[in-house]
Amino acid sequence: MLNILKINLSSRSFFILQTRFKTKTHWAKLKKKAGPKHKALNHFDDFYGSVFGEQWPPMKEALLRRSKYVAVINNYGDAEETMKYLSNRGAHCLKDLMKIQQAFSNEYTPTETDSDTQPKSHTNIIDNYISKLQSDEVSEVYPKSDNVPEKIDLNDNFVKTDNKKVDEIVSVNRTLDQAIDDAEIDQSRIIEPSMGINSEVLYQYIPATKLKGLEEWVPESLHYSYYNSKDKDFPLIVEPETEFTFPEHLKVYTYEMNSDWSMFPEPKRCQTGVFNYYPMDCSSVLAVLALCLSPGDRLLDLCSAPGGKALVALQTLLPDIVVCNDVSISRSNRTERIFRDYLLDFGDNKWRERVLLSRVDGRIFTDDQGFDKVLVDVPCTTDRHSVNEDENNIFRPDRVKERLRIPELQTQLLVNALKLVKVGGAVVYSTCSLSPVQNDGVLHTALRHAFETHQIVAAVRDLSSSLRSLSSTLQLGSGPAKPRFGQLVVPSTAANFGPAYIARLVRVK
């Protein structure tokens, strides 16, 4: 658009052509499109588009839509009346849906053989790993040759084997420059701009603070870039889950796939004064189910706020003690408010003995007794929030360093959780992100660190068979979106839950 101005100066007229607007879009709208949520979406398009391929566009469409919820019935309110009310509105009991789907799967899915489901001995895996370390150490000492000596005797600078002279060891004095010229440079950690991402990547991360030299050429998505660690360099145990059951007293209602999920009314106060149900994402319920709670358990929710998962655990009526920890004071206060809204007479002595609120950094949380179960729902990029809200968005310019350090924080939290759980107890690691780095990558790194630093061994329990009965309720990752160790709840327009990653670990040593 051209603006013409006429200026009179000393009887002379000048015509000035101005090109103020080079686009029809107002500058305020252009600035708005550069906000945190648009930056997050561009980042995900680049990152997830490379990882998930054709599966990413429908995930993206679902992320930008309103999320779906389930209703967790409050056992401390009018439970029977609430269930009847929701049933009349077309909602179904999640436990019943899972039973029906499981029966269907058992009938039409071939059963696994005993050899497929039989877990490997933990002792054998550890012994094999120790043997591998010993053989690796030997291979570093001896040259790669068919004539490896069985016994070595050192005498007068000669190496003798079976009374035969092999070689004379000559001590050579070299300058530093000569040594550098002859040295072999390890180029395994060099990141080139041309590196791509395939569907099998991102099982480990390089901390952003360790990337030097190519920062200006490396996209942010590659700051978490990868070593494709198919080679298990520590005793990594993966075995099928055998303890999964749906708690008898936990009542969850949901609508079927492709149905209108806006039909849930607002929760109401019961005659006892508490709300009748708690609305939440179904993937959050799965994280609690993955704990496989037992009567009398001592449970730690390491990053508890705002307290929804801890509330679901209490609704199972199984744990004796629930410790809710969160470093944020404001978020911890929110947890307490939710408990007062849903737990009858919360604050009485009976609740003070069962529910303990703590405000400690989860990385340094300590306990003398140990826990039977630990839930660590770590801080993450919160993908759905990041693409829909600018407020408190992790992609804000002033939070770049915080975002780049997320995997390190997650790893430290998970390692501490493994230290806090008893041998034989379980840790459930969960995020609300699609990122393979924050999911499988952090889990793999934490397991290795726990073993190498604290001699802790934990088995990954494969929940694939246990959660197969949810196929009519939500969508789990498959193909490029299927994790190696955990389960990924993928957003879809038919069942817009998640995103969420859930992995179950059982400590065996």
List residues forming the annotated binding site for S-adenosyl-L-methionine: 303-309, 326, 361, 377
Q: How far apart are CA 460 and CA 421, in angstroms?
A: 14
Q: What is the chain's alpha carbon radius of gyration, rounded to the nearest angstrom?
A: 29
Neighbours of 418 (CB within 10 A): 23
Amino acid at 298: R
Pair of tokens at residue 269: 């106060």
Q: Which residues contact 391 (CB under 8 A, 6 or more apart)?
A: none
Rounded-to-10 torsion of CA 361, 364, 366, 371:
80
Which residues define the annotated binding site? 303-309, 326, 361, 377
- CB atoms < 10 A from the CB of 94, how many? 24
Alpha-carbon distance of 111 to 153, in angstroms, equals 58
- Please, which residues have CB within 8 angstroms of residue 103's CB and are 6 or more apart in sequence? none
Which burial class, exposed, middle or buried, applies to 428 when counting CB atoms under 10 A from its CB (0-12, 13-18, 19+)? buried
What is the C-alpha to C-alpha distance for residues 55 and 17, in angstroms, rounded to an integer?
Answer: 50
Q: How many whole angstroms separate alpha carbon 394 and alpha carbon 487?
A: 24
Could you give the CA distance from residue 452 to residue 346 in angstroms, rounded to a whole number?
43
Active site (annotated) includes residue 93: no
Question: What span, in angstroms and rounded, lies between the C-alpha atoms of 279 and 282?
Answer: 9
Cβ–Cβ under 8 Å, residues 36 and 395: yes
Report the catalytic residues.
432
